[in-house]
Structure 1
Amino acid sequence: MRVAIAGAGAVGRSIASELLENGHEVLLIDKAPTAISVERVPQAEWLLADACEITSLDEAALQRCNVVIAATGDDKVNLVVSLLAKTEYGVPRVVARVNNPKNEWLFNEAWGVDVAVSTPRLMSALVEEAVSVGDLVRLLRFSHGDANLVELTLPPEAALVGTRVGDVEWPEDTTLVTIIRGTRVLTPNKDDVLEAGDELLFVAAQAREEQLEQLLSVQRQGATG
């Protein structure tokens, strides 16, 4: 997979290193000469250019990229890069960094963003995830379909403890993607039995989050199934 990253600061370089370790082809783009530190990520391609200019993106051959990541420290730049990547070059997947949470509402499909990653929101979500049991925690927002990656740790008093996954009537537009049980990561199947303390990860429509939280955390009369 070929990935172009706009912004070769600490964030961009870290992402590049992870992707390279996983066998992907990475191009780092930055307009600041001081940011071009080839020795820090020698396996990557480097381009000294302004990622907001069409001529620069032509030079980067953005049409050949499977993913573009807008990872600069400027939200305006990240939005422009995202829009150009999607509309001018048809990049299948565009991921954008949100620096100021107040701007998060802009990072959507209209600006070419498929996935918006807000560092402040993600950090607060990880704190909540570490200490919350029975509360739904939003970890990541996907622009397409208005869906979110959400997590809930199943409390001992939840009615669904002891229930088979296949017997639960999950809300519409909701998919259980992973069960984290201790040190194990489980791909859920219909015969898996939910246990207290399970960390459940869902991709769910935002409109279904309240319904999902009630299903998992509120003691109800009688179990599903």
Structure 2
Amino acid sequence: MKALIAGAGRLGAQIAQVLAAARNDVTLVDIDDDRVAELEGRLPVRLLAGDACEPDILEHAGVLTADLVIATTGDDEDNLVISLLAKRQFEVPRVAARVNDAENTWLFDQKWGVDTAVPAATPLISLIEEATGATDTVALLRLSKAGVDVIETAITPQSRAAGRTLAEITLPAGTVIATVIRDGQPTVPAPEMRLRAGDELLVVSHAATEQEIHAVFQ
């Protein structure tokens, strides 16, 4: 799947990390040059600085061949404009948009090119599940084209993994840690990284169940 994400804030970056970890072709666009520079080398995606409300920027980002566009900026007006352009001008098959202000929810419909409107408070996995159209899971996201599951788990002070390095943790066969989200920022996991309370982990697995993953960390 080829995905284009507009908005490289915490949510956009997390979605990009998950979709890329599941071997999708991901492009992340943000109007803030500094934010794009900050993410360089930290995410396995194509990064582009520019205003996604501009058709030329969307075209440069690859919207003409995109299977999915997700508008995750912090501005509802921008998300609506991006969605409308993606659907009406570029005929993107699936468009999802974040709703920042609940009072604007009524605007986020197919008249504005939005196939899926996702409230800002929606958990990350549920948001991606809605955006990609995957509906065959509960509490985890199945990306059928990639043949993998992405499971979200959090480290608490009581977690057995708290204080341990990633190298010290034995994962089920066919399982890798895609990213560790710390202080709101996705981080490429390194073996020497020591987990601490508050960390959120996105784990990619071909075979392990949600229960097996949680048993490893909790």
CA RMSD after TM alignment: 2.4
Residues 22 and 88 from structure 1, CA distance in 2 versus in 1: closer, same or farther, beyond 3 angstroms? same
Are positions 1:64 and 2:65 aligned together?
Answer: yes
Q: How does 1:130-145 map to 2 (within 5 A)?
A: none
Match for residue 17 of structure 1? 17
| 2-structure distance, mates of 1:57, 1:13 | 18
Alignment partner, residue 115 of structure 2: 114
Report the CA distance shift for 1:47/1:101 in structure 2 as closer, same or farther (over 3 A).
Answer: same
SS of 1:26's equivalent? strand
1:61 Cα offset (Å): 2.3
What aligned pairs does 1:141-156 form with structure 2 within 5 A after superposition? none
Separation (CA, whole Å) in 1 of partners of 2:107 and 2:120: 15
Match of residue 40 from structure 1 = 42
Deviations 1:154-194 (A, max 9, x none): xxxxxxxxxxxxxxxxxxxxxxx7697xxxxxxxxxxxxxx
Aligned partner of residue 23 in structure 1, secondary structure: coil
1-structure distance, mates of 2:113, 2:40: 29
Quote the Cα distance in structure 2 between the aligned partners of 1:49 and 1:17. Answer: 20
The CA distance in 2 between the partners of 1:110 and 1:39, in whole Å, is: 38
Question: What letter corresponds to residue 116 of structure 2 in structure 1?
Answer: V
TM-score w.r.t. the length of structure 1 is 0.54
Query: Aligned residues, how many?
Result: 130
For structure 2, the 5+ residue unaligned runs are 139-218
Cα 1:110–1:23 change in 2 (3 A) is same
Alignment match, 2:54: 53
- Secondary structure, in 3 states, of the residue corresponding to 2:41? coil
- Structural mapping, 1:76-115, within 5 Å: 76-115=77-116
Supply the AA of the counterpart residue of 1:20.
A
Q: Which has the higher contact order (CA 8 A, sep 6+)?
A: 2
Decide whether aligned partners of structure 1 residues 31 and 178 sit closer, same or farther in structure 2, where only a CA change above 3 A counts: closer
User: Max radius of gyration: which structure?
Assistant: 1
Where does 1:196-215 land on structure 2 (aligned, <5 Å)?
none
1:187 alignment partner in structure 2? none
